């Protein structure tokens, strides 16, 4: 009989009873598959290699850095599983050279993320936050000051047509909203399917009444939206970022919001997280903010938990996982 597959789960977002910051992601079901899990780290610092030795796999529940320092002295690790779609914090090359498979869980969060974009969109278009404040301050007489532009005649631009971008487009089109999009590579079949135009980046920037950013974070997308792009947007336009904070040049965005270069923004992600208490974004009244968690719902936890643990189970059973994001060198599988 083979030894149980040993799984490490980062303690930053989990408790010893299997509960996590996201809710129940199904850790209690792993015993049925001959997988033993336990917490590693203390949630206050980066992982160390000596904490991972002896484990076959690790689930990264957050964007904690994972690279050469975490792999120092580790000989047993075969699988790094990221909870969620983003894997920009994982050093893929370091895992490649050690034959470690890296997976993500990109599909379960697509609808919740698209709904995140819609939440920001409606909040901005209908001036939800200032109207909420008027009620709390008993200032109903000022409600005419915050009518909001609405969406009936708006053009929504989507930057990035990956899984989340495509689902966002589908949700927008289901609402009969006009959508244009940019993606690094052509998506002609998807555009025909959804009835949208894929245009040059500069044209999407200039024509959009609301620009939704969904691209993956990498060296090529760092500060993709900077001072030049913000200046090219309509002064009545909104920016929504549900990608990664580094995709938007935050100081340039603050300047644009303060100077009225754009009308407002909805941000679920930031260049530094948690957002520092002295960030100028906090004082701005034309910004809707969320702590990188607006998609965290029961649906999200159940779907993403099932997906990430499905990858762990596949690796433990010696079958191919569905969402490999690196190119690990050949190594023996689980015996």
* pLDDT value of residue 3: 86
Rounded Cα–Cα distance for residues 250 and 256 (Å)? 10
CA end-to-end span of the chain: 10
Check whether 308 has a pLDDT greater than 60.
Answer: yes
* Sequence-separated (6 or more) residues with CB below 8 Å from residue 108: 300, 302, 303, 304, 305, 306, 307
Rounded Cα–Cα distance for residues 307 and 311 (Å)? 7
The closest of 266, 241, 281, 261 to 127, measured between CA atoms, is: 266
The answer to whether the beta carbons of residues 194 and 170 sit under 8 Å apart is yes
* pLDDT value of residue 334: 38
Distances from the Cα of 230 to the Cα of 110, 206, 227, 265, angstroms? 26, 9, 5, 11
* pLDDT value of residue 335: 37
For each of the domains in the chain, give its residue range(s) and CATH number, in order of start.
5-108+297-316 (3.40.50.720), 110-289 (3.40.50.720)
The closest of 241, 229, 172, 236 to 204, measured between CA atoms, is: 229
Residue 106, both tokens: 């990109």
CB atoms within 10 A of CB 173: 16
3-state helix, strand, coil split of the chain in percent (to 5) is 35, 20, 45
The string of pLDDT tens digits covering residues 274-285 is: 999 999 999 999
* pLDDT value of residue 247: 98
- Beta-ladder partners of 57: 7, 79
The string of pLDDT tens digits covering residues 218-268 is: 999 999 999 999 999 999 999 999 999 999 999 999 999 999 999 999 999
Distances from the Cα of 118 to the Cα of 174, 194, 312, angstroms? 12, 17, 32
The string of pLDDT tens digits covering residues 161-203 is: 999 999 999 999 999 999 999 999 999 999 999 999 999 999 9
The string of pLDDT tens digits covering residues 44-97 is: 889 999 999 999 999 999 999 999 999 999 999 999 999 999 999 999 999 999
Q: What is the pTM of this model?
A: 0.91
* Sequence-separated (6 or more) residues with CB below 8 Å from residue 215: 159, 160, 162, 165, 221, 224, 243, 247
Rounded Cα–Cα distance for residues 115 and 171 (Å)? 8
The answer to whether the beta carbons of residues 99 and 329 sit under 8 Å apart is yes
**Which residue numbers are catalytic?**
244, 273, 292
User: Strands 238-241 and 264-267: what pairing?
Assistant: parallel
């Amino acid at each position: 009989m083979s030894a149980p597959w040993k799984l490490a789960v980062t303690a930053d977002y989990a408790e010893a009873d299997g509960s996590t910051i996201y809710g129940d992601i199904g850790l209690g079901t792993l015993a049925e598959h001959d997988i033993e899990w336990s917490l590693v780290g203390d949630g206050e610092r980066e992982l160390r290699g000596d904490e991972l030795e002896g484990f076959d796999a690790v689930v990264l529940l957050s964007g904690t850095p994972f690279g050469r320092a975490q792999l120092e002295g580790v000989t047993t690790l075969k699988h790094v599983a990221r909870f969620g779609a983003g894997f920009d914090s994982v050093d893929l090359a370091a895992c490649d050279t050690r034959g470690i498979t890296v997976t993500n869980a990109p599909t379960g969060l697509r609808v919740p993320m698209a709904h995140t974009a819609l939440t920001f969109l409606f909040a901005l278009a209908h001036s939800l936050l200032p109207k909420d404040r008027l009620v709390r301050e008993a200032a109903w007489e000022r409600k005419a000051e915050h009518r909001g532009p609405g969406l009936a005649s708006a053009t929504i631009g989507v930057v990035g047509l990956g899984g989340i971008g495509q689902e966002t487009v589908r949700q927008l089109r289901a609402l009969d909203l006009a959508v244009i999009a940019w993606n690094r590579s052509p998506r002609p079949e998807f555009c025909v399917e959804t009835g949208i135009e894929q245009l040059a980046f500069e044209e999407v920037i200039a024509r959009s009444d609301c620009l939704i950013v969904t691209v993956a974070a990498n060296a090529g997308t760092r500060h993709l939206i900077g001072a030049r792009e913000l200046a090219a947007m309509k002064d009545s336009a909104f920016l929504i970022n549900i990608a990664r904070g580094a995709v938007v040049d935050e100081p340039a965005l603050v300047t644009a919001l303060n100077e009225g270069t754009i009308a407002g923004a909805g941000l679920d992600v930031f260049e530094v997280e948690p957002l520092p208490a002295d960030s100028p974004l906090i004082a701005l009244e034309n910004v809707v903010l969320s702590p990188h968690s607006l998609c965290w719902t029961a649906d999200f936890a159940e779907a993403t938990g099932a997906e990430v643990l499905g990858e762990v189970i596949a690796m433990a059973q010696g079958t191919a996982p569905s969402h490999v994001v690196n190119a690990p060198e050949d190594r023996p599988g689980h015996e």
